[in-house]
Chains A and B, each alone.
Chain A
Amino acid sequence: GQQLNQSPQSMFIQEGEDVSMNCTSSSIFNTWLWYKQDPGEGPVLLIALYKAGELTSNGRLTAQFGITRKDSFLNISASIPSDVGIYFCAGQPDPNTGNQFYFGTGTSLTVIP
């Protein structure tokens, strides 16, 4: 299956700092989702994006669907210790061919109190 590239692979930041991560693909995606996964658990949906250029917020999280439809960005403002975890993007190529998603390589976030 397809795989999306996320960067950075890992981040170590101080509590209170803002975080930015992105996800890129070589092909066009019609939908982007961002998830957070804690160790030993399933991913939890954070934000869903459906239109190119769309900017959506969920509390301190903001995500954008890139204009080219080949990338997406997630920002976390004023990070707190519970933001620690692995963040995955997921993209859907074409809903007409099935609604499966493909996941990014993940960004591991560590917040230092």
Chain B
Amino acid sequence: GAVVSQHPSWVICKSGTSVKIECRSLDFQATTMFWYRQFPKQSLMLMATSNEGSKATYEQGVEKDKFLINHASLTLSTLTVTSAHPEDSSFYICSASRGHSTYEQYFGPGTRLTVT
């Protein structure tokens, strides 16, 4: 159990366009989902925390208008990178937490975004 999927696994887009990444918990209900970005050979940097049905909480320095997060159901969260620029190119990874009684996070396989 505790499988998380992401779609797409990789995407190439042109500068100025928007890209949507989906994160799904396949075999459990995720009350909380997290979005991270990771640059090559670096650690995961938390971007935002999203709880189902409420607005996401963004980490300091993350532009909420640029990285739109929607957590519409207990199994789906989406991250939309709006007006993407080359510096947004990165590996985006989501994770999901089962509930309030456990703090373990299960990660998706990641999405490689390249903005040309």
Contact = CB atoms under 8 A, between A and B. Distances in A.
Interface in A11-52: 31, 33, 35, 40-45, 48, 50
Interface residues of B, number: 29
B112 A40 contact: yes
A101 B60 contact: no
B103 A92 contact: yes
Contacts of A33: 103-105
Contact of A48 (B49, B57, B104): B104
A40 B110 contact: yes
Chain B binding surface, main DSSP class? strand
A45 B105 contact: yes
B93 A42 contact: yes
Contacts of A101: 34, 46, 103, 105
Tell me which of A42, A44, A95, A108 has the highest count of chain B C-beta atoms within 10 A of its own C-beta: A42
A43 B107 contact: yes
Interface residues on A, range: 20 to 34
A106 B43 contact: yes
B59 interface: yes
Interface of A: 1, 3, 31, 33, 35, 40-45, 48, 50, 88, 90, 92, 95, 98-106, 108
Given A1-B46, A95-B103, A102-B46, 16 more contacts: A1-B59, A33-B104, A33-B105, A40-B91, A40-B110, A42-B6, A42-B108, A43-B44, A45-B107, A88-B44, A99-B103, A100-B34, A103-B44, A104-B43, A106-B43, A108-B41
15 contacts: A35-B107, A42-B93, A42-B107, A43-B107, A88-B44, A95-B103, A99-B49, A99-B103, A101-B34, A101-B103, A103-B46, A104-B43, A106-B42, A106-B43, A108-B41
